[in-house]
């Protein structure tokens, strides 16, 4: 990499030693394959969707043993040595904003310390000075409240985290950047905005609303209880998100971050109305103050220009399709 103490980046494909331009063309054609990818957090919401997409693209997916704790540096190092990855998608995280208020220390442990332990393990496992490419999945929550004049949010927007979760993700990004600048571990950051789809657990806005709407359509509920529906969110289907992750793992520039988003904000009250229409439900709503966050961001919409220009990625699943699939998965 040009100076002492830094490793070299493992080629994206063992069979191909090509330029970034060639990789971009090959990736768009779907011909880059055969990479051994370690997916941390593979048993969460996004993990199975990402693993499925990687396999469909011809990659080999390896997982951490179920007992692996990313806050335990020793066990994580052992698991990484055993996995021998050529690339890594780091999804493992405490991903609930609400839970981060209840346990900020635990959230920092998983999200920031876990990222540090992973970077250290990957560099320590190198036998030849070559390091795997790493996609570090961060969150648009790091931007915090952004003035309307600065929307849609671009990657150069300064961090202004307003929740423990957001602060932990900002810290994780700094860890990844430090390991790239200090040791040459090629870490690319994906700043994911809101995303949803079938299989997302309760505790997030779409599955929380959808689960109630399904019950209302069956006559099991006479109202839908909500939090703040005045917020606007940029929501992308998980199936589009995992396509972006693989492209960034392949083509993203180390040390840089990329928004993964649709670039349009939807009012949450409109989203609930659409869920009701799709499910054939017609019940009143009521606001539960207990569901309000201690600090909330009223409008959150990103600019996907950077990832689109680099990779050609753009969302292909419409919001109605996403919502319909979520409803079907709960029915």
121-158 pLDDT tens trace: 999 999 888 999 999 999 999 999 999 999 999 999 99
pLDDT number for residue 33:
60
**CA–CA dist 188, 87 (Å, integer):** 11
- Give, to the nearest 10 degrees, the angle between helix 46-56 and helix 238-251: 60
The DSSP symbol for 297 reads: -
Domain that holds residue 259: 8-197+236-264+299-316
The torsion defined by the Cα of 115, 121, 122 and 123, in degrees rounded to 10, comes to 110
Whichever domain contains 97, its CATH number is 3.40.50.720
Residues of the chain with confidence (pLDDT) below 70: 1-33
**CA–CA dist 311, 270 (Å, integer):** 31
The pTM of this model reads 0.90
pLDDT number for residue 17:
29
**CA–CA dist 9, 20 (Å, integer):** 13
**CA–CA dist 17, 56 (Å, integer):** 22
**CA–CA dist 199, 195 (Å, integer):** 12
Q: 100 in a domain, yes or no?
A: yes
Q: 167 in a domain, yes or no?
A: yes
pLDDT number for residue 292:
74
Q: 152 in a domain, yes or no?
A: yes
Q: 247 in a domain, yes or no?
A: yes
Q: 212 in a domain, yes or no?
A: no
Phi, psi dihedral angles at 120 (to 5 degrees): -65, -40
Report how far apart the first and last C-alpha atoms of the chain are (Å, whole number): 53
Question: What residues are paired with 302 via a beta bridge?
Answer: 153
Indicate the length of the chain as a whole number: 331
**With left for phi above 0 and alpha for psi between -120 and 50, is residue 233 left, alpha or beta?**
beta
Q: 164 in a domain, yes or no?
A: yes
Structurally, the chain folds into a number of domains equal to 1
pLDDT number for residue 280:
97
Token representation of residue 102 = 């209840």
**CA–CA dist 247, 171 (Å, integer):** 24
Q: 223 in a domain, yes or no?
A: no
Q: 279 in a domain, yes or no?
A: no
């Amino acid at each position: 990499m040009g100076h002492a103490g830094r490793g070299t980046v493992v080629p994206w494909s063992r069979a191909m030693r090509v330029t970034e331009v060639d990789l971009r063309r090959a990736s768009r054609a779907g011909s880059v394959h055969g990479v051994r990818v370690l997916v941390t957090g593979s048993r969460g919401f996004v993990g199975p969707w990402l693993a499925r997409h990687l396999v469909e693209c011809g990659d080999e997916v390896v997982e951490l043993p179920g007992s692996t704790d990313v806050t335990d540096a020793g066990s994580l190092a052992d698991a990484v040595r055993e996995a021998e990855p050529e690339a890594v998608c780091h999804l493992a995280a405490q991903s609930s904003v609400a839970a981060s208020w209840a346990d900020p220390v635990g959230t920092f442990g998983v999200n920031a310390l876990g990222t540090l332990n992973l970077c250290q393990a990957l560099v320590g496992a190198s036998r030849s000075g070559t390091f795997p490419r790493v996609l570090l999945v961060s969150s648009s929550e790091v931007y915090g409240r952004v003035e309307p004049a600065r929307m849609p949010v671009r990657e150069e927007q300064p961090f202004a985290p307003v929740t423990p979760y957001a602060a932990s993700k900002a810290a994780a990004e700094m860890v990844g950047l430090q390991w790239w600048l200090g040791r040459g571990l090629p870490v690319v950051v994906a700043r994911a905005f809101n995303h949803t789809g079938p299989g997302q657990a309760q505790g997030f806005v779409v599955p929380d609303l959808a689960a109630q709407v399904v019950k209302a359509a069956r006559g099991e509920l006479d109202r839908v209880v909500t939090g703040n529906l005045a917020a606007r969110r940029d929501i992308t289907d998980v199936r589009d998100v995992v396509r972006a992750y693989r492209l960034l793992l392949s083509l993203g520039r180390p040390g840089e971050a990329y928004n993964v988003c649709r670039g349009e904000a939807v009012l949450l009250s409109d989203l609930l109305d659409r869920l009701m229409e799709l499910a054939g439900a017609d019940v009143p709503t009521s606001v539960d103050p207990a569901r309000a966050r201690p600090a909330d961001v009223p409008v959150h919409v990103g600019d996907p220009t950077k990832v689109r220009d680099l990779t050609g990625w753009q969302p292909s699943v419409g919001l109605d399709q996403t919502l319909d699939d979520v409803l079907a998965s709960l029915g």
